Structure 1
Amino acid sequence: MTDLFEASGIHPPDAPLADRLRPQTLEEVVGQDHLLGEGGPIRRMIEAGRLGSMILWGPPGTGKTTIARLLAQAAGYQFQQISAVFSGVADLKKAFEAARMRRAAGQSTLLFVDEIHRFNRAQQDGFLPFVEEGVVTLVGATTENPSFELNGALLSRSQVYVLKRLDDAALDQLLARAEGHEARTLPLTPEARHALLALADGDGRYLLTMSEVLFNLPEAEPLDVQGLAGILQKRAPAYDKSREEHYNLISALHKSVRGSDPDAALYWLARMLNGGEDPLYLARRIVRMAVEDIGQADPLSILVANAAKDTYDFLGSPEGELALAQAVVHLATAPKSVAVYEGYKAARRAAHETGSLMPPPNIRNAPTKLLKELGYGKGYQYDPDVEDGFSGANYFPEGMERRTFYKPKGEGHEAKVKDRMERWAEMRARKQGGE
C-alpha cells in the first residue's frame, strides 16, 4: 500500500512529517541550487533530456534520495531503489534483470543505490557492465568521500555531485513548509526557533522529525531555549573517527595552529573532543605541530606540548582537556619556523647521496694508541677553551664540501640564533682562510 501512495505522490496520513513534506518537484528541493538551479549541472542534464550515472555525496538529510526519485520522474525513467545496507548479490541480480527486461520494452531504469559505499569492491565492480551497456543509469548516494570508498573504475563512469549541508535559510524554508502543512506555527520563541535550527545541524529530515514532536505537544505557551532543551535531546555531532570527517577536522586544527589563529584552533579542538576523538591522539598531533611548524622559533613549544600530554595522562577528562587547549593556544600564538624541519630533510638527502664518508681525522674517536698514531683526534680543538668559544674547525666528512642545511627564518628565538650563526660563519671563513 505504501508503494501505491508513493507512486502517486501522496503519502498516507500517518506517515512521518518528513515523508509527507517530501518535495514533489526538483524546484521544491531546498539548499542545492548549485546543482538544481538555473545553470546547475543536474538541471542542464534534465534539460538535455538524458541522464548520466552519478554519485550524490553529502551529509544526511540533504535530499539525496529525493533528488534521485525526482530525476527519474523528470526524465521519464523507472525508479528502482536498493540499499547497500540490506541488499546482497541476489538483490543486485534481480534489479539488473528487471532493468534489462524494461530496456527491451523501451523503458529506461534509474537504479538508486543508497549507502553505495557499503558495497565492497567486488560488488561495486559488478555494476560496471550494466552501466556501460546502458542497462541502468546508476545514481549512488553516499555520506563518505567517494575518492576513498568507491572503485576508480566506477567513479570514472559517473559524475560526482556534492550536496551541501542545509544552511539556516534552507532549514527555515522547511520549517515554514511544515507550519503551512500543519496550519499553525511551531510553539517556540524566536530564540528557541534559532536553537532548533542549530540542533538540526544541516539535516532537513532531522529538523522535520523534531518539528513533528513539537507539533504533537499539548497547546501551551511557546517554549524558550531551556524548555526546548528539556523536550529534545541534544544531537551528537556528525563525526566518525575512522572516516573522512576525522581527517578534515584534524587538518583544520593543524592548519589553524600553523596559521596562528588560536580562536579557530580552539573551535576545531572542541569539535573533535565533542565528537568523541581520543584526546591522546590530539596530544600526539599537538606535539607534531610543535616540532614541525614551530621548532626553534619557540623551543618552549615542544615542552608545552609534551606537558599537555602528560597532564592529560595524569588528570584525564575533562580537566586534562584544558591542558590540550592551553597547548593549542600556545602553539597558535607562537612564532613559526620550519627551518629545522627543512634542514633535517635536506640533511637526510645529503646523507643518502654521500653514502658512508668518514668524519675528518680531527674529530674521530681515538681510544687506542694505534688510532692516535694513525692521526685520529689530531688537531682537535675544544671549542669552549678557544678564543670566542668558537674554533671554526671543519666537522663535515673528508671529500664533502660544506653545506648549509639549517637556515633560521629570523622569527622569535631564531632571530638570535640567526645573528649568532651569521657571526660564526664570518669567524669560520676568517679562521679557515688564515689556516
Structure 2
Amino acid sequence: MADLFDTPGTPDTAPRPLADRLRPRALAEVIGQDHILAPDAPLGVMLGANSLSSLVFWGPPGVGKTTIARLLADETDLHFVQISAIFTGVPELRKVFEAAKLRRQNGRGTLLFVDEIHRFNKAQQDGFLPHMEDGTILLVGATTENPSFELNAALLSRAQVLVLERLSLADLELLAQRAEGELGVKLPLDGHAREALLEMADGDGRALLNLIEQVVAWKVDTPLRADQLATRLMKRAAVYDKSGDEHYNLISALHKSVRGSDPDAALYWFSRMLEGGEDPRFLARRLTRMSVEDIALADPQAQSVCLHAWETYERLGSPEGELALAQAVIYLALAPKTNAGYKAYKAARAAAAKTGSLPPPKHILNAPTKLMEDQGYGDGYKYDHDAEDGFSGQDYFPEGMKHGVYYTPVERGYERELKRRVDYFAKLRAKRQ
C-alpha cells in the first residue's frame, strides 16, 4: 500500500527538492542521532536482536524522524505506510488497519508511521491498541510535543519513547558538505557567512537544505559575507509554542537561572521567550512569583520591584516596557535567596490539614457574652504590651498540640535580621514558660 498522501501521477523526471534527493538510504547514513542509532544504543540493540518494538519519536522538526522510520521498515522487511494525524480520520484509519490485516495474512508485516501522532484524540489513540497487540501493525509515531502530556498512558505502555535531538553545527556542516557534493557546487559564502547559514537553520536539517537551495541559485561573482547573507535570507523562526513543551522548558530555564543567581543566563532565557512571541504579562506574573517563592523575606523589596516593573510595562507597552521587566530579572537574579517562608507555609498547611478542627486555646478567645466568659473564654490571657519586653511568651497553639516550628530563616539578606528576631523570641519564650 502506498502512502495515503503521495501525489498520484507525479513523473519521476519532475524536479525533486534537495531534502528528498539527500534522504539517507541506510541508517548508517543518518546524520546525528547516534545516541539512538549506535550499535549499543536503543535502536541499534533492537535491530541487532531482530526484535523491533513499537516506538514514539519525540523531537523537533527536521531531525530525521520520518527518514529513520522509513529505514527501519527497510531494515526489518516491513511494508512502510505513512499517515498524518492532521489529515487522517477514522474511515482512513480503518482502511489502513484492514490492509495491514490482509498483508499479515499473506506473510508480511506493516510498519505504520504516524506523523504528528499527538493530534489524534484519546479514542483514536485507543484504536491503535488492539492492532499493536495482535501484531497487525508495528507503530512508529512522531511528535514534537511531550508524549507524557499528549499521548495516552495505554499507548505509551506499549511503545518505547526515543528522544531525537536537534542537529548540532557539526552535523549541519556535514549535511551542507553532502549537499555541495550532490549539487556539484560550493556554496558562494565566506567562512563567517557559512557559519551564519548553519545557525539560521536552528538545528533543523530540512530547513538548512531549503536555505542551501536558495543560496546556490544566486548568481554572485565573489563569496558573500555574513552581513550580505543576512540581507538576502531571513533567519528561521525559533521553535517556540506558547502553550506547548518549549514554553514550559524555557520558563523553567528562566526560573532556575534566577534561583541560581545568574543574571546573564536569566536575561538570555527571558529574551528567548520574548523572541518566541511570549506575552510579557505572563513573564511579569512569573517574575513576581519568583520574588515570592525564591527571594521572599531575604529581600522584601524584590516583590515591589516586580510589581512596579509589571505596572511600568502596562503603562508603556512593548517594546519599551519590556526593559522594566528585564531590569526586574537582573534584580531577582542578584538578590539574596531563601525559601524559608515557602517551606514554613507548606509545613504549616500540612499541620493544619493534619490537626483538623482543633479549636484555639480558650485564653486567646474573646468573651463578648456572659456565657462565654463563664466557659473560660479569655481567662488567663496576658496582654503582651503590658508584659516585660512587650512579650508574654504565651502558647497560642491548640491545647495539647506541641508548639510547631515552621519558619527557619537563613543567614542571607534581610532574613538574617529576621533570624536574629526569631532566636530572640525563642529564648524569651523558653524563659517565660
Shared fold per TM-score greater than 0.5: yes
What pairs up with 1:265-276 in 2 under 5 angstroms?
265-276=266-277
**Aligned pair 1:229/2:230, yes or no?**
yes
Equivalent pair of 1:50/1:75 in contact (CA under 8 Å): no
Equivalent pair of 1:383/1:391 in contact (CA under 8 Å): yes
**Aligned pair 1:92/2:93, yes or no?**
yes
Q: Could you tell which deviates more after superposition, 397-406 or 123-132?
A: 397-406
What pairs up with 1:25-36 in 2 under 5 angstroms?
25-36=26-37
For residues 365 and 227 of structure 1, the distance between their equivalents in structure 2, rounded to whole angstroms, comes to 80
Counterpart of 2:107 in structure 1 is 106
Counterpart of 1:253 in structure 2 is 254
- Structure 1 residues without counterparts, runs of 5 or longer: none
* Overall identity of the aligned pairs, in %: 60
Cα deviation 1:184-213 (Å, max 9, x = unaligned): 211112111111111111100000001100
What pairs up with 1:352-371 in 2 under 5 angstroms?
352-365=353-366
For residues 361 and 88 of structure 2, the distance between their equivalents in structure 1, rounded to whole angstroms, comes to 70
**Aligned pair 1:197/2:198, yes or no?**
yes
RMSD: 2.4
Counterpart of 1:155 in structure 2 is 156
CA 1:399–1:38: 2 relative to 1, 3 Å:
closer
Equivalent pair of 1:81/1:114 in contact (CA under 8 Å): yes
The Cα of 1:360 is off from its aligned counterpart by 4.0
- Structure 2 residues without counterparts, runs of 5 or longer: none
The Cα of 1:13 is off from its aligned counterpart by 5.9
Counterpart of 2:146 in structure 1 is 145
Equivalent pair of 2:61/2:144 in contact (CA under 8 Å): yes
For residues 400 and 237 of structure 2, the distance between their equivalents in structure 1, rounded to whole angstroms, comes to 63
Cα deviation 1:376-417 (Å, max 9, x = unaligned): 556655545644333323333344332212111222111121
What pairs up with 1:6-405 in 2 under 5 angstroms?
12=13, 14-365=15-366, 377=378, 380-384=381-385, 386-405=387-406
For residues 254 and 140 of structure 2, the distance between their equivalents in structure 1, rounded to whole angstroms, comes to 34
For residues 122 and 355 of structure 1, the distance between their equivalents in structure 2, rounded to whole angstroms, comes to 42
Counterpart of 2:426 in structure 1 is 425
For residues 3 and 132 of structure 2, the distance between their equivalents in structure 1, rounded to whole angstroms, comes to 29
Equivalent pair of 1:80/1:112 in contact (CA under 8 Å): yes
The Cα of 1:16 is off from its aligned counterpart by 0.9
Q: Could you tell which deviates more after superposition, 363-372 or 142-151?
A: 363-372
For residues 126 and 208 of structure 2, the distance between their equivalents in structure 1, rounded to whole angstroms, comes to 36
The Cα of 1:173 is off from its aligned counterpart by 0.5
For residues 382 and 29 of structure 1, the distance between their equivalents in structure 2, rounded to whole angstroms, comes to 79
For residues 52 and 3 of structure 2, the distance between their equivalents in structure 1, rounded to whole angstroms, comes to 27
Letter in 1 for 2:23: R
Letter in 2 for 1:82: I
SS of the equivalent of 2:324 reads: helix
Cα deviation 1:296-323 (Å, max 9, x = unaligned): 1111111112112111111111111112
Letter in 1 for 2:100: A
For residues 174 and 331 of structure 2, the distance between their equivalents in structure 1, rounded to whole angstroms, comes to 43
CA 1:201–1:370: 2 relative to 1, 3 Å:
same
Letter in 1 for 2:419: K
Equivalent pair of 1:61/1:205 in contact (CA under 8 Å): yes
For residues 33 and 245 of structure 1, the distance between their equivalents in structure 2, rounded to whole angstroms, comes to 23
CA 1:390–1:11: 2 relative to 1, 3 Å:
farther
CA 1:49–1:359: 2 relative to 1, 3 Å:
closer
CA 1:296–1:109: 2 relative to 1, 3 Å:
same
CA 1:301–1:39: 2 relative to 1, 3 Å:
same
Letter in 1 for 2:240: Y
